[in-house]
Amino acid sequence: MERSTTSWLRTLGIQLSLCFALYIVLNLGQPQKLVYNDNGSPFDLYFISVRGGFRSLQEQTHLLKLMGNVAKAYDLKFVVNISELGEDDPLMQNVTRLSPLLNVPWYTTGGSKHDGFGCFLHQVKLPRGRMLDILSLNTASLQDTVVVGSPSGKRGNLSNWLTRTLKATTSDWRMVVGFHPLVACKENEEEFTAKLINEPLHHIFVKFGVNVYLSQQGCFSYALQDNVAYIGNPGLIKENSRLGSGNGRYRIRTEMTDGFLLHRLGSLEMVTYFVTSAGEIVNKIVVQQRGRQVM
C-alpha cells in the first residue's frame, strides 16, 4: 500500500511539473527543453493541432507566437491544421519566415492540393522503427446527398479510398483527420450523450484499427466509441454551456474559445492538452493504443 501511494504521488508531481513548465513556456516565451514530460520518454513525439480559419491579424500573431514557443520547447515534429480552406487557410499563410513553425511540416484538412480528391496519406517515422499514419479526409464529401456506399457518389469514393488505404498500411498508430466532427449531441432528459453521425465510417475505423479521429469540435471535445477516440479541436468556436435556474429552466451561455491542442505520442498512449490563447492548460485527454494498454 505504501509503495502504491508513493507511486501515485510521484505521478501527480510529474504531471503538475509538466503543466507548470508548459505555462512558463507559453507565458514567458523562453524556449527550453523540459525536464518533466508527464511520464513520457525521450522517444516520444510531440505535435500540435490547431483550428484554422479567419482571425484578426493580432489574434493570428498571438496564437502563432504561443505555438512557436511550444515548437521550440518540445522539438515539435509537425502541425495539423483543421480547416475548410485547405492550404489557402489564413493561419498557414501568415506563418512568417521568422517563426520556428516554418521548420516543421504543416498538414491540413479541407481541399488539399495533393490530389483532386482532397484526401491524402502521410507516414511519419517514430523512434524504434515505429510508424504513424496521418490520413486526411475531405469531409466535405460527407455533405453529399448520395447514399453512403454508392459507387457513383462522393461518399462512396471517400469510403473506398479510406478502406483501400488502411488495408495497405501496417502502422503502429493510425490517425484520421477531417474538418467535420463525426460525433453529435443526443439529449437524454437533463444530460447530453455522444451520438455517432456516420456509422459507416466508424465501422471502417473499428475494422482497421484507427486510434484517433481529429476534427473541429462539435458539442463534444472528446468521445470514445469502440476504442476509437474522437477528439475535437475547440479553437475559434462558440462554446455553449447550460446554466440551471431555480424554476427548472435552462439558459444557454455562449463564449468564444481559441487555442490549440498539444499532443504527446508515445509507444503506448497519446496524451493531449488543450492550451487556450491565454496560455492556460484547461483539459487533458489520454488515449491508449488499442491492444497495447498497460496492465
Domain containing 183 — which CATH number?
3.60.21.10
Residue 22: is its pLDDT beyond 70?
Answer: no
User: Per-residue pLDDT tens for 237-283?
Assistant: 555 544 443 444 434 444 557 899 999 998 889 999 988 888 888 88
Kindly give the interhelix angle for 199-207 and 154-167, rounded to the nearest 10 degrees: 10
Report if residue 172 sits inside a domain. Answer: yes
Report if residue 146 sits inside a domain. Answer: yes
Report if residue 295 sits inside a domain. Answer: no
Considering only residues 89 and 31, tell me which one the structure prediction assigns the higher pLDDT. 89
User: Per-residue pLDDT tens for 157-210?
Assistant: 788 899 999 999 889 999 999 988 998 877 665 666 778 888 899 999 999 999
**Are the C-beta atoms of residues 76 and 104 closer than 8 Å to each other?**
yes
Q: Rounded to two decimals, what is the model's pTM?
A: 0.77
Query: How far is residue 258's CA from residue 278's CA, in Å, rounded to a whole number?
Result: 9
Report if residue 63 sits inside a domain. Answer: yes
Report if residue 26 sits inside a domain. Answer: yes
Query: How far is residue 33's CA from residue 46's CA, in Å, rounded to a whole number?
Result: 13
Task: Quickly state the pLDDT bin for 17 (edges 50, 70, 90).
Answer: low
Report if residue 293 sits inside a domain. Answer: no
pLDDT at 52: 87
Could you list the residue range(s) of the whole structural domain that residue 147 is in? Answer: 2-288
User: Per-residue pLDDT tens for 48-104?
Assistant: 999 988 888 888 889 999 999 888 888 899 999 998 888 888 888 888 776 788 888
Query: How far is residue 147's CA from residue 288's CA, in Å, rounded to a whole number?
Result: 34
Integer Rg of the chain from CA: 20
Residue 220: is its pLDDT beyond 80?
Answer: no
pLDDT at 123: 92
Query: How far is residue 213's CA from residue 232's CA, in Å, rounded to a whole number?
Result: 8
The angle subtended at Cα 106 by Cα 104 and Cα 154, nearest 5°, is 160
Report if residue 294 sits inside a domain. Answer: no
Number of domains observed in the structure of the chain: 1
Report if residue 193 sits inside a domain. Answer: yes
